[in-house]
Chains A and B, each alone.
Chain A
C-alpha cells in the first residue's frame, strides 16, 4: 500500500525532473539555433507544467504522510521528495530566467562566444540528471560525483565572469549582452547548486551522512 504510493511519488518526481532537464536543453539549443518559438514555449508552456507537478506532488506527499504515517526510511524518502519538488520548481524558474536572456541574445550578434554558456549548461544539465538518477538508484557514489562537479561550475563561472567584465570595460556596446550572459551563467550555477542539494539529501538517505554546509569536514 505505502510502497505503491512511494513508487508513484518517485515516478512523478522523475517526470517533473525530466521536464526541467528538457527545458534547459531546449533553451541552450534554441540559443544556438536562434529559435525564438522554442524559447517562448519554455517560458509560457513548459514552466507551467513544472508548477503543476509541484502542486500535485505537494498534495500527494501530504496525503501519503497523513494517510500512512510513514516511518524510518519511508519517511525520509517522502520528506526528500518534498524538498526535491521544491528544488525542481526553483530550477524551472531559473530556466525561465535563462530563456528570457536567451531571447535577448538571439537577436544580437554577440562578440562573446556562446561556447561558455553551452559548456556550463552541459555540466549543469548532467548534474541535474545524475542527481535524479542517484536518488532513484540510491547511488551514493554518483551523488558524491555530482557534488564534486559543483566546483567545476564555480571555477568556470569565475573565469568567464572576469573575462566578461574585461570585455565590458573595453567596449561599452557589449554591456547589455554581457549582463545577459552573466545572468544566464548565474542561473545555471544556481541549477547546479540545487542539483547538489538533491545529492546531499541522497547521501543522507543512502548513507546516513550529513554533508551539507561542509558538515563532514
Chain B
C-alpha cells in the first residue's frame, strides 16, 4: 500500500487539488508511452488510480483508453510488435519490471470485458477454476469463496439453486455478473472493466452500475466506457483522453460541471467524438 507521493509535474492539465488530500494510490503510471509498431498510441500518460475508488476513463474511439486499461494487467504482452516506455506501478512495484510475475499481476489486477465470456462450464466451475489454479484444493474453502463471490456480485439469489447448470444458460446480464464474480473469487486488488455494459440492456446495465458502486468498498476500480453518463454515475474520478494523451483528470463532478480544458468541454457537450 503506497502513499501517494508522486505528483505528475509534466502534465499541465491535471487538477491537483485532491493530491493535497492524503490518499492511497494503488496503481500509477509514470510518463507512459506505448507504440503499436511505429504508431504511438499513448503519449506521456501520468495517472494515479486511488484505492477503493472508481476511476473512469472516457474519450472518443481510438483515444487509447482501452490500450491504457489493458496495460494495467499486461494484456498487451500478447500483441506482437508493441513497445512500452515509462512505468506502470502496482503498489509501487513496476509491473513490467524484471522481477514481475505476470500470473500474480493478473490475479491482483482482474479484468471484466465488454462481452460476457464465461467458461462453457457450470456456474460453480466458473468460479472454482481460478481457485484451483491457485492450488486451493480444500473443498469447503472453495465452496465458501464461491458463495461469497456470488453474493458480492449480487448474483447469489438468482443462481443459488442452479449452481451446477451450464453458465451459458444465464442471461447476458447474469453472465456479466458471473464474470465479475469469477474475477472477485481470486481476491484481486484492482478490477478493470472494459466497457462492461456495452452489450447489455438498460436494466442489466443499471444492475452492473449499482454493483460497481458497491464493489468500490472492497476493490479499486478502473472502468473504460464510451458512455459518458455511465462514467459520471459510477466513478469518483474521471480521466479524459484524446489522441493518446491524458487531457484532463480530476474529480468526476468537477470534470462534468466545470472542466478546465476546452477539449474536455467540447467532448462532454457532444461537439466531437
Listed in ascending order, the chain A residues whose CB lies under 8 Å from chain B are 1, 62-63, 66-69
Cα separation A1 to B206 with both chains bound (whole Å):
10
- Report the separation of the CA atoms of residues A1 and B257 in the bound assembly, to the nearest whole angstrom: 18
Chain B residues with CB under 8 Å of A62's CB are 257
Chain B residues with CB below 8 A from A1, complex form: 209-210, 213, 233
Inter-subunit contact A63/B253 (CB<8 Å): yes
Collect the chain B residues with CB atoms within 8 Å of residue A67's CB.
232-233, 252-253, 256
A68 to B206, CA, bound (A): 12
Query: What string of 1s and 0s marks CB contacts (under 8 Å) between B217-244 and chain A?
Result: 0000000000001001100000000000
* A69 to B229 Cα, complex, angstroms: 8
What is the distance, in angstroms, from A67's C-beta to the closest C-beta of chain B?
4
Closest 6 A/B residue pairs (Cβ):
A63-B253, A67-B232, A66-B256, A66-B257, A62-B257, A67-B256
Which residues of the other chain, A, contact B209 by a CB distance below 8 angstroms? 1
- Given known pairs A1-B210, A1-B213, the reply for A66 and B233 (CB within 8 Å) is no
Interface contact B210-A68, CB-CB below 8 Å? no
Q: Which residues of chain B in 22-46 are interfacial with respect to chain A, using CB atoms and an 8 Å cutoff?
A: none
The distance in angstroms between the C-alpha atoms of A1 and B252, with both chains bound, is 15
B257 proximity list for chain A (CB < 8 A): 62-63, 66
Contact A68 B232 (CB under 8 A): yes
Chain A residues, CB < 8 A from B232: 66-69
6 contacts between A and B (CB under 8 A): A63-B257, A66-B253, A67-B233, A67-B253, A67-B256, A69-B232
A68 to B253, CA, bound (A): 10
CA distance A69 to B213 in the complex (A): 17
Given A66-B257, A67-B252: 14 more A-B contacts, CB < 8 Å = A1-B209, A1-B210, A1-B213, A63-B256, A63-B257, A66-B253, A66-B256, A67-B232, A67-B233, A67-B253, A67-B256, A68-B233, A69-B229, A69-B232
Interface positions, chain B 183-219, Cβ under 8 Å from A, are: 209-210, 213
Residue of B nearest to A67 (CB): B232
**A62–B232 Cα gap in the complex (Å)?**
13
Closest CB of chain B to A85's CB: distance in Å? 16
B24 to chain A, nearest CB (A): 24
- The complex places the Cα of A78 from the Cα of B253 at a distance, in Å, of 16
| CA gap between A1 and B54 in the complex, in Å | 14
In the docked arrangement, what's the CA distance between A5 and B126, Å?
A: 36
Nearest opposing residue in chain B for A62, CB measure: B257
Q: How far is the CA of A68 from the CA of B209 in the complex (A)?
A: 12
On chain A, the residues within 8 Å of B210 by CB distance are 1
Contacts of A63 on B, CB cut-off 8 Å?
A: 253, 256-257
A134-B253 Cα distance, complex, nearest whole Å: 30
Contacts of A66 in B (CB 8 A): 232, 253, 256-257
With most chain B CB atoms within 10 A of its CB, the pick from A1, A63, A67 is A67
Residue of B nearest to A60 (CB): B253
